[in-house]
Amino acid sequence: MEFQTSQFYEYLDYPAKRKERINKLLNLLKEKGITLDSFIAKGYRGVVFKGLYRGKPVAVKVLRSDVEKENPLQKECEILNYLTNKLKSENPAPYPYLCTSEFIAMEFIEGLTFSKALENYDPYTVIKEALRSCYLLDKAGVQHSEIKGEKHLIFDGGRFRIIDFESAKFSDKPRNLLQFVGYHLIRNKEILKKLGIREKDLRLAIEIYKENKKDGFRLLNNFFP
């Protein structure tokens, strides 16, 4: 299956762009029933496409050609499957449809980033849902590691989904909620002022959260009715 029409196929073997590997991956994707529609982004370890799998939109993450250490896709797939089984319908992470050593095909999440969601929806609801998703990851024992970057927080209109788990890891003391509060609330003086929330009250709540997640989460929720 030669790539001839879409230049974005070259990203299948980024940055080397070897024709042999590109065609090999295209054949593998075709064999699995996956078609690629567009290129989305490139990260440190993988490149992401949007495609279709059995009529469903999927994000397809392909391993970069210059990754020299242990294959990160295998770890990411392990974490995504774990969260799916652990959190069931509450899971904020994408559902993994297919995992191979070359790519992961997962649920495609659409929505608005945190700051955009604050502009378009009730801010109390937006923040409450973001806190809940971070809390669920903490309870499951998974540290996302990039919560401070809001591009990984996607509000779909009802709840917050969290994407891109290539840097995630299992942890006895995950800090997803603490990172969210620190980077997206405490540092955002404008939103705190707008919502009438005092910084010292938030800091007290996260100190309680460090000792008892359930009590701290309950207290944080009280700020966002």
Mean pLDDT of 6-15: 89
Judge if 193 and 208 occupy the same domain: yes
On whether the CB atoms of residues 15 and 66 are closer than 8 A, the answer is yes
Domain boundary among 60, 86, 107: 107
Judge if 101 and 120 occupy the same domain: no
Q: Is the pLDDT of residue 5 over 60?
A: no
Element (H, E) at 53: strand 46-53
Judge if 101 and 150 occupy the same domain: no
Judge if 171 and 100 occupy the same domain: no
Range scoring the smallest mean pLDDT among 75-84, 121-130, 148-157: 148-157
pLDDT of residue 150: 83
Q: Residue 2 — pLDDT band, cuts 50, 70, 90?
A: very low
The candidate with the shortest Cα–Cα distance to 115, out of 168, 165, 48, 183, is: 183
pLDDT of residue 3: 45
Euclidean distance between CA atoms 46 and 60, whole angstroms = 10
Which pLDDT tens digit goes with each residue over 31-48? 999 999 999 998 888 999
Which pLDDT tens digit goes with each residue over 106-118? 999 999 999 999 9
The answer as to whether 2 is a domain residue is no
Judge if 178 and 156 occupy the same domain: yes
Judge if 103 and 154 occupy the same domain: no
The CATH code of the domain that includes 89 is 3.30.200.20
- To the nearest whole number, what is the mean pLDDT of the chain? 93
Q: What contacts 24+ positions apart, CB below 8 Å, involve 206-209?
A: 206/177, 206/178, 206/181, 206/182, 209/177, 209/178
Task: Give percent helix, percent strand, percent coil of the chain, each to the nearest 5.
Answer: 50, 20, 30
The candidate with the shortest Cα–Cα distance to 154, out of 222, 93, 63, is: 93
Find the domain containing 81 and state its range. 7-107
On whether the CB atoms of residues 148 and 186 are closer than 8 A, the answer is no
The CATH code of the domain that includes 138 is 1.10.510
How many C-beta neighbours within 10 Å does residue 75 have?
Answer: 17
Domain boundary among 50, 78, 107: 107
Q: What is the pTM of this model?
A: 0.92
How many C-beta neighbours within 10 Å does residue 58 have?
Answer: 25
Judge if 97 and 119 occupy the same domain: no
The answer as to whether 95 is a domain residue is yes
Judge if 88 and 64 occupy the same domain: yes
pLDDT of residue 179: 96
Range scoring the smallest mean pLDDT among 1-5, 18-22, 105-109, 134-138: 1-5
Sheet containing 103-107: order of strands: 34-42, 46-53, 56-63, 103-107, 96-99
Domain count, the chain: 2
The answer as to whether 55 is a domain residue is yes
Mean pLDDT of 121-146: 97
Mean pLDDT of 112-141: 96
Q: Is the pLDDT of residue 1 over 50?
A: no
Q: Is the pLDDT of residue 151 over 60?
A: yes
Instruction: Give percent of the chain above pLDDT 70.
Output: 97
Q: Is the pLDDT of residue 78 over 70?
A: yes
